[in-house]
Amino acid sequence: MEILIVLLVVVALMVIAASKYKFHPFLSLLMAGIIMGFVGELSEEEITTALTNGFGKTLGSIGIIIAFGTIIGAYLEKSGGAKTLANWALSAIGAKRSILAMNITGFIVSIPVYCDSGFIILSSLNKAISKSSKIPVVVLAVSLAAGLYSTHVFVPPTPGPLAATAALNADLGLVILLGLVIAIPVSLIGFFWAKYIERHYKNISNNHDSVTDSKNQTIPKTSTAFMPIVIPIVLIALKSISNYPTHPLGEGLLFDFTNFIGNPVIALLIGVFLAFKLKTNVKEATHYDWVTNGLKEAGIIILITGAGGAFGSILQATGIGNIIGNKFSDSNLGLFLPFIIAALLKTAQGSSTVSIITTAAIMAPILASFGLDSSMGRALTVLAIGAGAMTVSHLNDSYFWVVAQFSGMNTTTALKTQTVSTFLQGIVGIILIMILGWIFI
């Protein structure tokens, strides 16, 4: 029990260091790993070896994928491609259903783009729709934020679920397919909540006009904006289908070809080249500049992800998985355990990505003890962690402040609308995931 108590103390200290003292999670995760190594009676050499091997193994599996994903996001942001997707949703669904349109737009945009960035990109569109439709900007903002948040925590190649997929050795194609299945109703819960609060809020005056929508900007075609997102997802899903035990695509040349182009590295690389078509104005910044911008964003994400892998490697080396498994094997918590760990971490320290990575590191050694070491079990564990990592967004979460500030909400309004929305989304998410678990595990 001593090592479990120390683990709880270490995680609590990580939360306090991040939330109160703004200590960077990259250093927190590495320090936590070193402390756990000594508590687990590992030698100095074993600690450093586990740290470096865990860091390298994690980055070897997803470092390039994260980089490609952020490059695609940078192109969608800078080219106006994200606004193209929003305009498509409005025209397809209708201006009268603008609340639903913004929810769907957020759902699509946040697959490659961080939810914070996606909200900032689309906030000017939110204001314009609010002005023309008389729908309170708070309502549109909550609906948009819910759509963005859903794919942010459930659907790779968003870095959080991608990192958890790698840490738990889950099938990426299966995570994407199941992630979309869960993310759709979870996103719609945010939409229904936005519709519910519509009658309670008058339009709030917005003095935050730092983000403006340039009418003179030439935005990409809809098909061009969709391709960097849809094509990689389709290719990765095809690989997962081709590897199904019944081999629906055979075992010959088509199987080999599908496995190659469906490899996440190759699929996302194809997405990057498709994103190049989004840049049409050659007089502005070069492709080099846009790629560099995406890589700068990727750098911090990659390092935190690697540190999470290092922390997980130390936990595995200490044998804590067997200890936790023995203590809780009769508790029947199943998929609820990763959910509650991630929810506590998220609520306490604010970052969904850090919550996902840390929880995945804790869960990796103990999957077998909870009967979650099958392909389906690993995929659903990733999603259970994602559901916990959205429960709840409040004052210590940067996304909370992005939604509030760019929508003109005061803190009380944001807590009553955005925070409640994320709570409802997380609860519905874990209920659906546990239902799938009961059926398939």
Cα torsion through 194, 195, 197, 203, rounded to 10: 90
Mean pLDDT of the chain: 85
| pLDDT range class, residue 287, cuts 50, 70, 90 | confident
The token pair at 103 is 């929810």
First to last CA, the chain: 29
What is the rounded CA–CA span in Å between residue 290 and residue 301? 18
14-23, 76-85, 204-213: least confidently modelled range: 204-213
The token pair at 188 is 């719609």
- pLDDT score for 72: 86
pLDDT (tens digit, 9 = 90+) per residue, 393-422? 987 788 998 898 888 888 888 989 999 999
- pLDDT score for 293: 86
What is the rounded CA–CA span in Å between residue 223 and residue 175? 25
- pLDDT score for 321: 65
If one counts every other C-beta atom within 10 angstroms of the C-beta of residue 177, the result is 17
- pLDDT score for 39: 87
pLDDT (tens digit, 9 = 90+) per residue, 95-138? 788 999 999 989 998 887 778 878 877 887 788 788 777 899 99
- pLDDT score for 269: 93
Looking at residue 213, the DSSP 8-state letter turns out to be: -
Q: Residue 101, Cα to own-chain centre: how many angstroms?
A: 21
Q: Which residues of 262-283 are buried (b: 16+ CB within 10 A; e: fewer)?
A: bbbebbbbbbbebbebbbeeee
pLDDT (tens digit, 9 = 90+) per residue, 16-35? 787 677 788 888 889 988 99
Asked whether residue 212 carries a pLDDT value surpassing 50, the answer given is no
Q: How far is CA 268 from CA 231, 275, 295, in A?
A: 9, 10, 14
For residues 414 and 366, the answer to whether their CB atoms sit within 8 Å is no
Q: Residue 22: left if φ>0, alpha if ψ -120 to 50, beta else—which one?
A: left
| pLDDT range class, residue 170, cuts 50, 70, 90 | very high
User: H-helix or E-strand containing 217?
Assistant: none
- The pTM of the full predicted model, rounded to 2 decimals, is 0.75
Q: Where are the alpha helices (DSSP H) in 283-331?
A: 287-318, 320-328
